[in-house]
Amino acid sequence: MPTTWYNGYITKLEPIAPNVRQFWLEMPEISTFEFKAGQFVTMDLPVGEKRQQRWRSYSIANAPDGSNVLEFCIVRSEDGIGTKYLFDDISTGSALRFKGPDGAFVLPDTIDKDLVFICTGTGVAPFRSMLHDLQKSGRPHKNIHLIFGTREEAGILYRSEFEALEKSMPGFKYDVALSRQPDWPGYKGYVHQIYLEQYKEVRPDVHFYICGWGNMIDDAVANLIVRLGYDRTQIHYELYG
């Protein structure tokens, strides 16, 4: 099947945290962009000649809503030419070419087990899409626990949304760990301490979804499978970066 490329235009840009920006991308050529919550698109950025230089994949941060607008949450990488372009050269009205959606990091059609979402930084994007999709669709689900980690309080992405979701979405729980803020009243350190503490008794009725940098995912998978003894089929992850 031939790859379909789309032309999108930036309609809105907003900073959400230090070195993190939200992008709204509209596709006027189509009325609806269909995707599953948790999937990503691949942008062809004019930053080089070779495909590996130009193609950058980003998770969709909004839920499928039948519209032609996508939202992204992107962190500026210190040595990334792709994010340098997105932060320094993109403005409202700029065009971006992309293909997709792609990816199998999605929830099952029937959610009959508890879900634990573990993420750091902009790795929260697919989980935001999933949570809003579940809330809007009214699909039945069990308990859902979002565990988010970053360095400092200013870097907590979508905090007010998730705190509001705790009050409005039955069975939803939200925890944050900060690794570089000693005066934080919540968990201090990395995300691993939270699931190691709260899921130390191995259960067959829980699935873990993990998204973030490779080192964090490697540690989480090892902790869950080797240290705690969960089955591999209970672990799902998506790398970025």
Q: Are residues 159 and 180 in the same domain?
A: yes
Q: What is the pLDDT along the chain (241 residues), one digit of tens a residue?
A: 678 999 999 999 999 999 999 999 999 999 999 999 999 999 999 998 888 889 999 999 999 999 999 999 999 988 789 999 999 999 999 999 999 999 999 999 999 999 999 999 999 999 999 999 999 999 999 999 999 999 999 999 999 999 999 999 999 999 999 999 999 999 999 999 999 999 999 999 999 999 998 999 999 999 999 999 999 999 999 987 4
Closest Cα partner for 37 from 95, 91, 115?
115
Last residue of a domain, one of 36, 70, 102: 102
Q: Residues 192, 146: one domain?
A: yes
Residue 65 lies in a domain: yes
Give the per-residue pLDDT at 1.
Answer: 63
The answer on 128 and 77 residing in a single domain is: no
- 63 and 139 in a common domain: no
Say if 45 falls within a structural domain.
Answer: yes
Query: Are 91 and 142 in the same domain?
Result: no
Residue at a domain's end among 75, 102, 129: 102
pTM tops 0.85, yes or no = yes
Last residue of a domain, one of 40, 75, 102: 102
Verify that 85 and 137 share a domain, yes or no.
no
Given this model, what pLDDT does residue 239 score?
82
Residue 109 counted as domain residue: no
Question: Does 212 lie in the same domain as 181?
Answer: yes
> Which range of residues forms the domain containing residue 49?
5-102
**CATH number, domain containing residue 94:** 2.40.30.10
**Cα–Cα distance measured from residue 100 to residue 152, given in angstroms and rounded to the nearest whole number:** 33
Phi, psi of 207 (to 5 degrees): -125, 140
DSSP class of residue 29 equals T
Total tally of structural domains belonging to the chain = 2
Residue 129 sits in the same domain as residue 95: no
DSSP-derived secondary structure for 31-72: S-----TT-EEEEE-SS-SSHHHHEEEEE--SPP-SSSEEEE
145 in a structural domain: yes
Residues 147 and 219 in one domain: yes
Pairing of strands 20-26, 5-17: antiparallel
Query: Exposure pattern of 138-165 as b/e (b: 16+ CB <10 Å)?
Result: eeebeebbbbbbbeebebbbbeeebeeb
The reply to whether 140 and 198 lie within a common domain is yes
Do 146 and 232 share a domain, yes or no? yes
CB atoms near residue 36 (< 10 Å): 17
φ/ψ of residue 164, rounded to 5: -70, -35
Q: 233 and 144 share a domain?
A: yes
